[in-house]
Structures are given as C-alpha cells and as structure tokens.
Amino acid sequence: MIIGIDDTDSRDGMCTTYLGAVLMDELQQYGTVIGDPLLIRLNPTIPYKTRGNASIAIQLDTDRPDAVMEHVTSRIESLAEMECEKTNPGVVFFNDTDHEHARVVLEEFFIRTVREVISIDTAKDIIHDLGIPAKGYKNGRGLIGALAACGAMIREGWDHTYEYLAYRQRTVWGTSRSVDEESVWKADLATYPGTWDTIDRTNDLIVCVPHSPDPVLFGIRGKSVEAVTLASNMILSEPIERYAIFRTDQGTDMHLISVERIADIQDMHSYTIEVRVCELPHTIRGGHTIVPVCDRDGRCIDCAAFEPTKNFRKLIRKLIPGDMIRVSGSVKEDTLNIEKIEIISLACAYDISNPTCPSCGKRMKSAGKDQGYRCRKCGMRSDTLQQSERIRNITPGIYEVPPCARRHLAKPLIRTHRPNEFPSR
C-alpha cells in the first residue's frame, strides 16, 4: 500500500513531514515500511501553500489495509491544523500497484503537479476513475498533493536527493530553537559538497534551522543517506523527539520547463529560456533588481533578482543590452523570478572619452564649441571623440542565487559543478 498525504499544517504549527515521521514509526505494527519515505515538493508558485508546498508518501507491506487506513485517518484528524482556513488535508491509499493503467496515470500526475496548476476536481476525478480509497477534508485540496506523492512513489528513475529532518520535542514547539551554531558550521565543513544549504557562507547565515513554529529542529540536505546522517550526527542541539530521512525531488530542477519563446510562458509555471538582455537592469523600491529581456521574436519579459537574493543582484546589475543569457525561474505576475542564470555571451561595452594626443599621449581638451579637441601641450588637434572597449568584469558561465534564497526544487550547481559553473555557498 502507498499512502500519500498533504496539507495538514498551517503557519501556526505542524508540518506534514512530521506526521509522516510519526506514521513511519506507528505503522510498523501493521506491517513493514518499504524503502525510503518520500518528501515531494510540488509547483512552487501555488498560492495555497503554507511554506514549501510539500507532500509525503510512505510505502507499506501490510495484510491489514483497513486497520492502516483507520489509523492514518485518525492521526490526520488528531494532528492536522484543521481550524486553519488554508488547511485542507487529503490522504490517498493506493493498493493496486500492479494496475498498469493506474500506474501510468499517477506517474504522469506527479510530474504535472510539480510543473502545472491542477484543480481539485482533476484529482477527485482520477481518484474516482481509478477507485482509489481516499479521504479529503474540508475542500479536499490536499488530495492533489497526496495523489502526486503517491505517483512519485510509483514512478522510477527520477533524479533525487535526501533530507534528514530532526523534530523537536512537543513541549518546546513554538519556542526558540537551541542549536549549537559552531557545530553546524563544522558539520557543513566536514560534509560539503555531499551536503549543501546547511549554511550560507557569503551571507554568514545558518540555513538549515527554520524560524517558524513548526516541529522541525533542522533539516540537512545532501546527495545520500550517509552524507546527511553524518552531518546531522555532528550537530549539537536540544534533545530531539525523532528524525526521518526522506528521499526527495528537492534540488533537482524538476519544476523547470524548457521553452524557446516567451509567448509559450504562462503565469504560475517555472521555465528555462534563452534570451537577450534588451535594457539596462534597474533596481526598484525594496531593493529588487529588474532586467528586461527579449526572445528572438522580439517579445519581452521582466526578470527579477529579488532583495532576498542578496549578493546575486550585483551580478545581475552588471548585465547590459545585447548580453545573451539563459535564465531559470518561476513566473508570477509576468515576471520571471531568477533562480539560476547562464551568461552565454557578453556584448561589447564602450567608454567614450576625449581623444588622446598622438604626440605626447595626454588627454586633449575641448577647443571650444564645434571646434573639436586640442592638446594643450603640443597643440595637436582632433575632431573625433575616442571610443574604447570597456572591460566587463564578468565571466561567462552559470550562476545561482545564494543558499539563503534557494527554492527547494532548485538544483544547486554544486551537484554537478562543471568548470563553467559558479556554485554559491
């Protein structure tokens, strides 16, 4: 049986992954948990999300499916933040893992939910057509994520990473977290690049410890169970209640759709597209840097490096019209929020100055209105201004926002680290 769950938390507390960790332990009484539990990040532009648009799935080998369904639903009812208007839990129980048609539908639904906007009715129709036991609470929106997580468990061969999530003891939920910062820096030093986004060196920040009132104490992301476990074991902190290691689509760029034309871009989707910078970048109130770009049809869109991307904005401000770039990011309100940028080729930039004297090498001065330029020392004259190519101080290659601003789904460059990539640490 595959159990998919979503939308149990609110901004005031809880976390669907915590419910998953609790169930991982409690469901042992009904059978054997198979493989790793899944933590699936879905379309990052969805407005209904509490934080990171996560859902979870667990696979269980059991001969007591009814008891499992009863146990899971009763735990959702006791732990979910039902009073919150935005919390609309959903759970699905998929037993028919040999049913080829159902497998295909769910595998595809997983990818669509990461990339597209899905209606509650679409999820309900699939559940109905395939006869999947499910329960939606309130408006049932959580069924979308629950079904997608189930599809992720069925689908094979997708790129994945791991996250070790440590959970706080219940008595301290909502209070400030006690984590020894020095041990976090040491854990990063000992395990990077096998782990990433534990800290943000450039901005001198600890990234793995959240500040919201949910049960998570810290989360360590990395390429393997071993790497995230090693780092987590080095972190000194308040006592934890439990932990779970999830296989996840975080850090994979699964949300990105490649397009060639701006006309193919839709709001609330995420893209990679090659474009040409068509105006100088400008910085607006709030410190957000905007760079207008256009495609080969001449169609334009604004790309943004928002204030939280910190030092990344300095790179964007160096762009000039004519630069060819490939940008990746989510589109909301007709603006592409840059997660990653490849600087493909640089346009030539020129400085215009008074001519230099061919005899003594000194800079000539204006000889008066419409009278050209004259060297004060040797008297040489010239009519034309001098144009010299400016050094751009920017190297072609791939750059990314710093860890403190990274989207869960965005693939950190350190995962590939090719010669023309500049990982942000």
Site residues (CB under 6 A) for ligand ATP? 6-7, 9, 15-16, 42-43, 46, 48-54, 88, 113, 116-118, 141-142, 144-145
**Of 236, 228, 217, 229, which is closest to residue 15 (Cα–Cα)?**
217
Shortest gap between Cβ of 59 and ligand ATP (angstroms)?
Answer: 20
Cβ proximity to ligand ATP, 57 vs 234, nearer residue:
57
Name the one residue in this structure whose structure tokens are 């499916």.
Answer: 65
Shortest gap between Cβ of 66 and ligand ATP (angstroms)?
Answer: 25
Cβ proximity to ligand ATP, 99 vs 138, nearer residue:
138
**Angle at Cα 17 formed by Cα 154 and Cα 306, nearest 5°?**
100
**Of 394, 301, 304, 399, which is closest to residue 342 (Cα–Cα)?**
399
Structure tokens at 356: 């230099």
Cβ proximity to ligand ATP, 80 vs 230, nearer residue:
80
Structure tokens at 422: 């500049």
Cβ proximity to ligand ATP, 140 vs 402, nearer residue:
140
**Residue 415 C-beta-side C-alpha neighbours within 13 Å:** 19
Shortest gap between Cβ of 272 and ligand ATP (angstroms)?
Answer: 18
**Of 89, 77, 14, 76, which is closest to residue 48 (Cα–Cα)?**
89
**Of 32, 132, 131, 31, which is closest to residue 91 (Cα–Cα)?**
132
Structure tokens at 181: 């910062």
Separation in Å, CA 127 to CA 65, 130, 139, 316: 17, 5, 15, 45
Structure tokens at 323: 């630069």
Cβ proximity to ligand ATP, 163 vs 323, nearer residue:
163
Shortest gap between Cβ of 134 and ligand ATP (angstroms)?
Answer: 12
Cβ proximity to ligand ATP, 146 vs 184, nearer residue:
146
Shortest gap between Cβ of 39 and ligand ATP (angstroms)?
Answer: 9
Cβ proximity to ligand ATP, 15 vs 303, nearer residue:
15
Q: Report yes or no: 228 and 222 within 8 Å, Cβ to Cβ.
A: yes
Shortest gap between Cβ of 268 and ligand ATP (angstroms)?
Answer: 8
Shortest gap between Cβ of 396 and ligand ATP (angstroms)?
Answer: 34
Sign of CA dihedral 412, 415, 419, 423: positive
Beta bridge partners of 274: 326
